[in-house]
Amino acid sequence: MNGVYAIVTTPEIQACCDFYRRAFSARIVFRADWYAHISFRDWELGFIKPHQDTRLPVFQHTSTTRGLCIAIESSNVQEDYDALIQRGLAPLGPMRQFANGERSFALLDPAGTVINFLEHRADVVDGPLF
């Protein structure tokens, strides 16, 4: 296996490409009217328009992706939060600190994908999750 990546079904391919380039300096590695593939850091993500004709009916996506969440583990979530704010992106709310030491915040991309940034604190080994 050479890699694994998610493909998000959305009619907003260009808006998604623009969002990920702005948020993460993503690089577009393939772009067509019906599909785009981006790469950033050490992971990749694809975007496909719904209702595409392909050789296999299983790939004829009929609705946009719902319920997908991408989790990004960070060593400094405050730095990530500040950088995204500076790039003009609005998190879904303030950064949250949980009793177990985890800190997190989330963004929403144009396709409705939740991007959850989280930092695990090594100095907190025990405690309730919330």
Q: What pLDDT, in 10s, does the model give residues 10-63?
A: 889 999 999 999 999 999 999 998 899 999 988 999 998 887 776 566 666 656
Asked if the structure places residue 128 within a domain, the reply is: no
Domain assignment of residue 113, given as a range: 6-119
Structure tokens at 31: 């772009």
Asked if the structure places residue 130 within a domain, the reply is: no
Distance CA 76, CA 18 (A): 24
Asked if the structure places residue 102 within a domain, the reply is: yes
Asked if the structure places residue 42 within a domain, the reply is: yes
The CATH number assigned to the domain holding 40 equals 3.10.180.10
43, 5 in Cβ contact below 8 A? yes
Asked if the structure places residue 73 within a domain, the reply is: yes
The whole model's pTM is what?
0.80
Angle, CA of 84, 44 and 7, to the nearest 5°: 105
How many domains does the chain divide into? 1
In the prediction, which pLDDT does 55 show?
57
Structure tokens at 42: 């050490």
Asked if the structure places residue 86 within a domain, the reply is: yes
In the prediction, which pLDDT does 108 show?
92
Distances (CA, A) of 112 to 1, 11, 44, 57, 100: 29, 11, 17, 25, 28
Asked if the structure places residue 94 within a domain, the reply is: yes
Asked if the structure places residue 41 within a domain, the reply is: yes
* Residue 58 DSSP one-character state: G
Computed from CA positions of residues 26, 67, 90, 95, in that sequence, does the dihedral angle turn out positive or negative? negative
